[in-house]
Structure 1
Amino acid sequence: MKVVVIGGTGLIGSQVVARLGEHGHEAVPASPNTGVNTMTGEGLAEVLRGASVVVDVSNSPSFADDAVKEFFRVSTTNLLKAEAEAGVAHHVALSVVGTDRLQESGYFQAKQAQEEMIKSSGIPYSIVHATQFFEFAKTLADSATEGDTVTVAPIKIQPIFSGDVAAAVGRTAVGSPVNGIVEVAGPDVFQLEDFIRKGLAVREDTRTVVTDPNGRYWGAALQESDLLPGADARIAETHFDEWAAGQR
């Protein structure tokens, strides 16, 4: 089976390509680095020729509201159009647990719009909702830092190892379209400040992490369970402490 992975040279995409290849599939990484640009359409028709499945794990290079909305609107429009012309039978997209609950955030507005475009495209689809990756604790901290202090809301999070996300995306890609959402999450629930504190410790980052009831998450106000998956989520095996030990 030929599977084209948009964003296939990034953190998740490169792992999806490797895992699919190990299972005998023709997994093709597609990104500007390989001559495929979903924003301009460059290389799309060529790379999609003969593809059965397209996996989109790409992300905007900028998280500024206008830029991220433009990225997902244009990229998804071009990709879905090219897929329809190529006869692709399954579109798989990676998104985020809680997207529909975080609509005060420009980023999550953009992700929700992307999902709606996929659902209305007429192409059979599966959307994988993952919780935050272990590897992105620093990114979360950076988004909430002033001086040497990281200020976050007192909420819960159930983060996941990127390799487990890649495995879930790969399984979904070679399965039948669900025409809906599949949720995946890690096995451990943390308070957000504890997760960020642990993630920074892996990097020997000494910033102070504090909570504030008015703290926001990428611009969105949060209820305590907004970042947690539902009861039917698939729970991955890798624990944060196992992953952290390997990083050290």
Structure 2
Amino acid sequence: MKSYRGVFLDLDGTLFKGNEVIPGAVEFVNRLEDEGIPFLYLTNNSSRTPEQVAEKLRGFGYPAEPEQVVTTALAAAAWLKEEMNSPAVYVIGEEGLIRAVEEAGCRIVDEDPEAVVVGLDRQFTYEKMKKACLAIRAGARFIGTNADRALPTEEGFLPGSGSLSMAIAASTGVSPFFIGKPEAVIMRYALKTLGTKAEETLVVGDNLDTDILAGIRGGMDTLLVLTGVSTEEDLEKTDIRPTYVVRQLADWSLQQI
């Protein structure tokens, strides 16, 4: 069994489901901490700040500090700073995205932006869509935090961030540049944050199409846990091949990381 110097952990479906902790997951993360293996929590959710995500995880019993949380908002903001020199930005999103963009030195504007960034926004309106479309048609770069079209909740599947981006894409004819899983952009940001190399980092997640594909695209080994979205039947129907598969993280805890 290969040894790893760092681990990236997905959240929903891997560590918890709704308001319930997945059995064995807290023990798995505690083992990482006890053995001194650095880890980060990776989420496609752009609406929450790292502090809010860490607080939620601590409420479930996980060891979590804000600096251990990587969101699509943070990765998008870093991309704007590095690739566009902190441009003027029109933001469709919530607190997590707005704060990350501001802290990256970008100026948030309503008119004449150089970039339009779209994340989850539960106050999305026609007016916001109109401003985004006009700016993109005028030449603004179109950035989407992630392509998830559905958001799993206790109510059922609600519209995700990707559905808002796709609505804007349908109107403008311009495809967004996505940051979050399964794209490699967020994985490069996470590797830089953790300070490990791709070949020595393990990606743990429950979704073949996001977590596992992101790890593969980022050049990392992957561990699929069958506690969330993807099933054994899905494995038989896809070309996406995780490095390891376990029914739950408790099974992996018996092995040497």
Same fold (TM over 0.5): no
Give the TM-score normalised by structure 1.
0.37
Give the TM-score normalised by structure 2.
0.36
